[in-house]
A = this chain, B = another copy of it.
Amino acid sequence: LDRSAGIIVIGNEILSGKVVDTNSPFLARELRRLGVTVRRILTIPDELDVIAAAAAEFHRDYDVVFTSGGVGPTHDDVTIEGIARGLGRRVVRHPAIEGKIREYYGGNVNEARLKMAEVPEGTELIVDGRLGFPTIKCENLYILPGIPEILEQKFEAIRDRFAVSPYYLRVVYTREGEGTIAEHLNATLGAFPDLLLGSYPKIGDPEYAVKLTLESKDEGYVARALAHLLSLLPPDAVVRTE
C-alpha cells in the first residue's frame, strides 16, 4: 500500500534566505517513517495567485498535501484565501474558531485576530485536546502554520492517520567511489528493477566514499537485492552494511 504526498512551503522569508525552512525536512522525514512517499516540495512566495495554482496542482496530483506558513493575522498571511481560490471555494469565518478567539481575547478582539477564524468553505476541523487551536483540513490539504514548534505539534497530533506500509531500508558504505561501483549498481537494478537504490558520495570522510541506500516496501525483495549487490562488489570495497 502506497500513499503520495506533496509539501507546499509558503513564505517570502524562505525564498529571500532570511529563514531556513525546517518544516519540509521534518515532514519529509516523518512521512517517510510512516511509509508515505513525498513526491514534491515546493517553496513559493506569499502571493494569492501562486498559492492558488500550487494548491490546485498538488490537490490533483498527490494523495495528501501539507502546506506550511501564511496563516497568521497579518497582511502577508494569504494562504487560506489562496487555497480557497485554488480549490474553487469561498472563504468563510468558521463559527467554532471564531468562538474560541472571542473567548480568548474578550474585549481585545479585532479584525486581525478574527482573520484567524477564516477557512475555505467546507473545511474540516481536527480537534485535539492537547492543542489550543484545531488543525485545518480542506479536501486532501492539511493547512499547517509556519512556526516550526506549532507545525510539529500539530503533525504529531494527526500523524497516525497517514501510516501506510513501511519502507524497508538497508545501507551499504563503500570504500570505492561511484565511478568504480556504478556498473554493479546498474547490474543490481537490472536484476531488481523495483529496487529504490540511492548512491550518495561523501567528500573528505576517512571512513567511506559512497553511501548506498536500498529500499523497498517488500522486506524480502530488499534483502535479496542487497545480497545480490554484495556478491558483485569487490570484497574489500565494502566498509559495512546496516
Q: What residues make up the interface of A, taking CB atoms closer than 8 Å to B?
A: 9, 12-21, 24-25, 28-33, 37-45, 72-76, 105, 110-113, 115-116, 147, 149-150, 167, 178-183, 185-186, 189, 196-201, 203-204, 213, 215
Contact = CB atoms under 8 A, between A and B. Distances in A.
25 contacts: A12-B196, A14-B28, A15-B41, A16-B37, A16-B38, A17-B32, A17-B33, A18-B32, A18-B198, A40-B44, A41-B42, A42-B42, A72-B199, A73-B178, A74-B178, A74-B182, A74-B185, A75-B182, A75-B186, A76-B198, A111-B183, A112-B180, A112-B182, A112-B183, A115-B182
B147 A203 contact: yes
Number of copies: 2
Contacts of A73: 178-179, 182
Contacts of A15: 28, 37-41
B29 A17 contact: yes
Given A18-B213, A75-B199, 13 more contacts: A14-B41, A15-B37, A15-B38, A15-B39, A17-B38, A21-B25, A40-B43, A40-B44, A72-B178, A111-B182, A111-B183, A113-B179, A147-B203
